[in-house]
Chains A and B, each alone.
Chain A
Amino acid sequence: MYAQAFFVAVFGLAAIGFGVVVFRTSSMMRSALALLFSMTAVGCLFLAMQTEFLGVLQIMMMATEMSIMAIFMVMFMMDPGGLGGMDMSHQKRFSIGAGVSAAVVAIAVALLSDWGPAAEQVVDAQAQTRALGMELLGRSMMIFETAGITILTAMIAATAVSIPVKKLASKDGKEASE
C-alpha cells in the first residue's frame, strides 16, 4: 500500500514536472517530447493504480501522437529549435491568472470531494481487460463507434481539403496555383 502511494506520488510529480518543462523551453521538439513524457508519467500513474490496460494504452498511444505533434510544431513554428531567442508567448497575465485559478479549482475538487472508501482489492489485469472489452462492445458501443466514425470523417475531410486543386484551376484555363 505504501509502495503504491509512493509510486503514485512519484509519477504524479513527474507528470507535473514535465508539464512545467513544456512551457519553460523555447524548443518545439523539447516542448513536444516533454509533453510526451508527462503523458507517459500519467500512464505510469495508471499502472501504479493497478489499471493496467489503461496505463499501457496511454503509454502506447502518446508516443506516436506526440511525435506527430512534434513534426507539425517544427513545420509551422518560426523558430522550431528555440535558437533564435524568439518570444512566442502572449497574453501572459491572463494565462497566469487562468492557470493559477484552474490549479486552485483542481486542488479544491481533490481535497473537498468525498472519494468514498479506497478499494482494498481490485480484480486482476486480465479480468479488467475482459470487463472493458465487454463494456466497449456492449453498452458503450454506439458512443465509441460514433466517436470513431467522426474522427475518421474529420481525417478524410482534412486530407481532402489539403490536396491542391490543380485540376480545377487548369479546367478554367488558369495557371495552376498552390
Chain B
Amino acid sequence: MTVAIVLLALLGSAWLLAVIEGWMATGRLSPAAPLFRGLAHLGRESIVPRSPDRVFFEAAPVLLLVVAVLGMAVLPLAPDLIIADLGTGALFVNAALAYVLVAVIMAGWGPDGAYGMIGGWRFLGQLIAYSMLIVMPITAVAMRAESLVNTAIVGSQAGLWNIVYQPLGFVLFYIAAMALAFRAPFDLPSAEGELGGGVDAEYTGVRLAVLRLARLTLVVTLASATTVFYLGGWHGPLLPPSAWSLIKTLAVAVSMLLVGHYLPRIREANLMRWCWVLGIPLALLNIIIVGLLILVVP
C-alpha cells in the first residue's frame, strides 16, 4: 500500500511539473498536455541510430528512472509513509543519485553520436564536482540529527528547520541538486543551443518519453530530499503530515523550474571553477559551523 501511495505521489508530482513546464514554455496552462505529449511520443517512430552500443542505449533511460524512484523510496512523506526506512537512509540517497551519472554517461555513449558523447562526459565533470556539494551538506544534516535515518533527520527539525539552523548548507544543496538534475542553468549535458540536445539528442519515441519522465521524476526526488533534509519534512500546522511533505516538495520543484526559466546557462569553465574554488570550501565551513553549534548550543 505504501509503495503504491509513494509511486502515485511521485507520478502525480511529475505530471504537475510537466504541466508547469509546458505553461512556462508556451504560455498556455493545459493540464492534459503532458498526457498528449506522452501519447505522441509513443506513437512516433523510435529510431535506433547507426552502430549504437545497444545495451547502453536501451538501458540508460530505464536506469535513470529506476535510480530516481529508488532515491524516493528512502525519503519519508510522513512518519509511517516511507517505503524503506533504512538505517543508512541519508547515505542511500547519495548512493542512488550517484547512478544518475552512470545513466547519463550510458545515454551519451550509447547512440554513437558526437553531441551525446560530449554531453555525457560533460556531466561526468559536472557531477563529480557537484556531488561533493550533495554529500557534504548532508553530512552536516546527519551531524545535527546524530543519525543517518531519514525519519530521525526530519524528527531533529521539529523545533527548528535546518534551513534556519544551517542556511549555507541549504543553499549549497539546492544548487547542487539543480546541477545533479541537469536543469537550466546547469543543463550543459543536454544544452539545446550548443549541443543540439546533447544526451537527449539521439532519443526518439518511447525511449525519449521514458527519458523525459525520468528527468522529471529526478527533480521531484531531489525536491523531496531538500524537503526532508532542510524544510522540516512533514512538520507543519493544521494539515496532515503527508500533505505538508507534498506541498513543500512541489514548492521546491517549482522553484527549481522558475530559477532555470529566468537564468541563462552557465559556462562550463565557470560552473566547474565556482564549485571547486568556492563551493567546496563553503561546504567545509558549513560542517565546521554546524559542528561548533552542536557543541556550543545545547
Contact = CB atoms under 8 A, between A and B. Distances in A.
Contacts of A124: 87
Contact of A52 (B51, B86, B101): B86
A14 interface: no
Given A27-B53, A29-B109, A83-B51, A53 B91 contact: yes
B46 interface: no
Nearest to A37: B102
Given A64-B128, A67-B105, A125 B87 contact: yes
Interface residues of A, number: 24
Interface in B101-121: 101-102, 105-106, 109, 112, 121
Contacts of A63: 95, 98-99, 101-102
B53 A52 contact: no
Contact of A64 (B87, B127, B149): B127
A63 to B, nearest CB: 4
B95 A60 contact: yes
Nearest to B105: A67
A149 to B, nearest CB: 16
B88 A129 contact: yes
B191 interface: no
A59 interface: yes
B131 interface: yes
A70 B87 contact: no
Contacts of A81: 53, 112
Interface string B5-39: 00000000000000000000000000000000000
Contact of B95 (A27, A59, A83): A59
A52 B91 CA distance: 10
A128 B86 CA distance: 12
A66 to B, nearest CB: 8
B56 interface: yes
A68 B53 contact: no
Interface in A17-52: 27, 29-30, 33, 36, 52
A97 B72 CA distance: 47
B56 A125 contact: no
A27 B127 CA distance: 23
Contacts of A83: 51
Given A29-B53, A64-B127, A125 B98 contact: no
Contacts of B105: 29, 67, 70
B88 A53 contact: yes
Contacts of B94: 60
A68 B124 contact: yes
A63 B123 CA distance: 13
A177 B124 CA distance: 29
Interface string A124-150: 111011000000000000000000000
Contacts of A64: 98, 101, 127-128, 131
A57 interface: yes
Interface string B109-148: 1001000000001001001100100000000000000011
A56 interface: yes
B203 interface: no
B55 interface: yes
Contacts of B53: 27, 29-30, 81
15 contacts: A27-B53, A29-B109, A30-B53, A30-B55, A33-B102, A60-B91, A60-B94, A60-B95, A63-B95, A67-B102, A67-B105, A71-B124, A124-B87, A126-B149, A129-B148
Interface of A: 27, 29-30, 33, 36, 52-53, 56-57, 59-60, 63-64, 67-68, 70-71, 81, 83, 124-126, 128-129
Sort A-B residue pairs by CB-CB distance and give the 5 closest, nearest first: A125-B87, A60-B95, A63-B98, A126-B87, A59-B95
Interface of B: 51, 53, 55-56, 86-88, 91-92, 94-95, 98-99, 101-102, 105-106, 109, 112, 121, 124, 127-128, 131, 147-149
Given A57-B95, A129-B88, 13 more contacts: A29-B109, A30-B55, A33-B56, A36-B102, A56-B92, A59-B98, A60-B91, A63-B101, A64-B98, A64-B127, A67-B102, A125-B88, A129-B87
